[in-house]
Amino acid sequence: MSGAALTPACSDEQRISRKQSLWNKFKPLLWLAPFVLFFYLFQLAPMVWVFFNSFQYDGVFSFENYAEVIDSSFMMQAFSNSIWLSIWSSVIGLAIAALLVSSLRRVDSKLRDGVIAFTNMSSNFAGVPLAFAFIIILGVNGAVTLLLKQYGLIEGFNLYGRWGLLAIYIYFQVPLGVLLLYPAFDALQDDWQSASALLGAKTHQYWTQIALPVLSPALLGTFIILVANAMGAYASVYALTTGNYNVITVRIASLVSGDLFLEPNLAAAISVILMAILAFITIINPLCQDSCRP
């Protein structure tokens, strides 16, 4: 009798416990719901809109926008300039960042923390303020430009051309490279170089045969991220050249916000090609890192 009376209570307790476990399981999903909504509104929805509108030409489905991009030497020059700036700024920025991080591991902790804090701050110094700073320092009448010309150290340097843009790209690539590489250098043990020296290895042999193979996945991953970062740069380039230098981000902006010709569907096709390039870079990143692991 008493056992039969306890059965419904036990059943109620089990039901409450089951509901509580379900609530605990789905509660994190409720917290994620706002982020999922924002991700859809500001990431997925624009990408889907751009993708479908890239195939719209005079109100009908067509590949004409892509054909126009491929057949246009002006558009191909924009892609070429963007890729050239991205690759070279990434190579040089990665080399400078690697040397800086390697040096930071051998200095006092307070100085190291100060340099990292400054690097973190300078990584956010981009866009119009960065372009304005470069104009003041390295413009036609910039302080450093006039000083170097006075001593005959530079001739014909043009901040508003390819090499000037490369300089500004390198500037904002170095802090990002430092922040990405700094944790990776913790994989190098301090006694490895001493042990290799005891075995007769020279400094360059230590770096080429021990350190670089260990760091190669991080170096390659950082390089790919830097390329993607440079490919999408817009504000600094536009502020520096007022849109007169032909890079792909400036061309996209001119097609959707220009004063004369508005061709959003053509801009969508260029954006899809740019997204495909960045997606390819993102996909090969883990594949290359796996192949580079010692």
Q: What are phi and psi of 194, to 5 degrees?
A: -65, -40
Residue 233 CA neighbour count, 13 Å, CB half? 36
Given a cut of 70, the residues of the chain with pLDDT beneath it are 1-17, 19-20, 22-23, 156, 258-260, 285-294
What's residue 84's pLDDT? 94
What's residue 294's pLDDT? 54
Q: What is the DSSP string of the chain?
A: -HHHHHHHHHHHHHHHHHHHHHHHHHHHHHHHHHHHHHHIIIIIHHHHHHHHHTTEETTEE-SHHHHHHHH-HHHHHHHHHHHHHHHHHHHHHHHHHHHHHHHHTTS-HHHHHHHHHHHHHHTT--SHHHHHHHHHHHSTT-HHHHHHHHTT--SS--TTSHHHHHHHHHHHHHHHHHHHHTTGGGGS-HHHHHHHHHTT--HHHHIIIIIHHHHHHHHHHHHHHHHHHHHT--HHHHHHHTT-S--HHHHHHHHHH-SS---HHHHHHHHHHHHHHHHHHHHHHHHHHHHH--
What's residue 2's pLDDT? 47
Topology, domain 65-292: MetI-like fold (1.10.3720)
What's residue 95's pLDDT? 93
Q: How far apart are the first and last CA of the chain?
A: 71
In the chain, list all ranges with CATH 1.10.3720.10: 65-292
